[in-house]
Amino acid sequence: MNTRSRSLFGRLAASCITATLAVLAAPFANASVFTVTLAQVGPDVVATGSGTIDLTGLTSFGSFPTSPELYADHGIIGVGPSTTTDLYTGPTGPFSFGPGSAFFPAATSGDSVFLEDFGLDLDVPQGYVSGTSLSGSASYAGTITSLGLMPGTYTWTWNSGANSYVLVIPMATVPEPSAWTLMLIGVASLGAAMRSHRKVVTA
């Protein structure tokens, strides 16, 4: 194969590869992700959500008054206040993210985005325009453990996997002993050591 033939072959091969990659990437060109992250903040677990939701591939089911909730065993998690939302069906993913029962937030803010009914439904603000930015939060009284949450990353997808809703649950933290607790343990240990030393001397 001469130089000219090799050059032509190289250009054809590059064109074919580029076209193939474009076809494979097409479903993901407008991919969107909405992520909810849980964090222990004082006595509460705070759910913070942000990102965009592409409604392509979801089916509209109408508008309904909806309230945020955290129900791990039923795959329900909500951020944002109670309001009328547009309900869409179509996400697929895990049916639950722990054994916890129903809990309702003490405080909310921002946009209302709720994952409902074993992760099969998605509620967005009424009149939401597909692909626009969303952010909201909700505070649930308790800990990762007391709310029955299983640490891990859970993902629900739709539109052939191009779009997703992601829930991140951190490991439950073990409180560190306070300075007073450590000091009391030290004094108790010192006292025990002194008593043991006296017994040896007496003997």
pLDDT at 14: 47
Measured distance CA(43)–CA(40) in Å, rounded: 7
For the segment 79-99, what is each residue's pLDDT rounded down to a tens digit?
999 999 999 999 999 999 999
Name 6's Cβ contacts closer than 8 Å, sequence gap at least 6: none
pLDDT higher than 70, residue 192: no
State which amino acid sits at residue 165: Y
- For tokens 């939302």, the residue is 85
Q: Once rounded to an integer, what is the mean pLDDT over residues 106-130?
A: 97
**For residues 39 and 46, is the Cβ–Cβ distance under 8 A?**
yes
Measured distance CA(159)–CA(56) in Å, rounded: 6
Indicate the burial class of 83 (C-beta count within 10 angstroms; 0-12, 13-18, 19 or more). middle
* Mean pLDDT score of the chain: 83
- For tokens 């453990």, the residue is 145
Q: Which two tokens stand for residue 75?
A: 């795959």
**C-alpha separations of 100 from 3, 47, 71, 81 in Å:** 68, 15, 6, 21
Beta-bridged to residue 70, according to DSSP, are 77, 103
pLDDT higher than 80, residue 170: yes
Task: Give the domain ranges of the chain.
Answer: 1-30, 31-169, 177-203
For the segment 17-38, what is each residue's pLDDT rounded down to a tens digit?
443 433 344 444 458 999 999 9
For the segment 55-81, what is each residue's pLDDT rounded down to a tens digit?
999 999 999 999 999 999 999 999 999
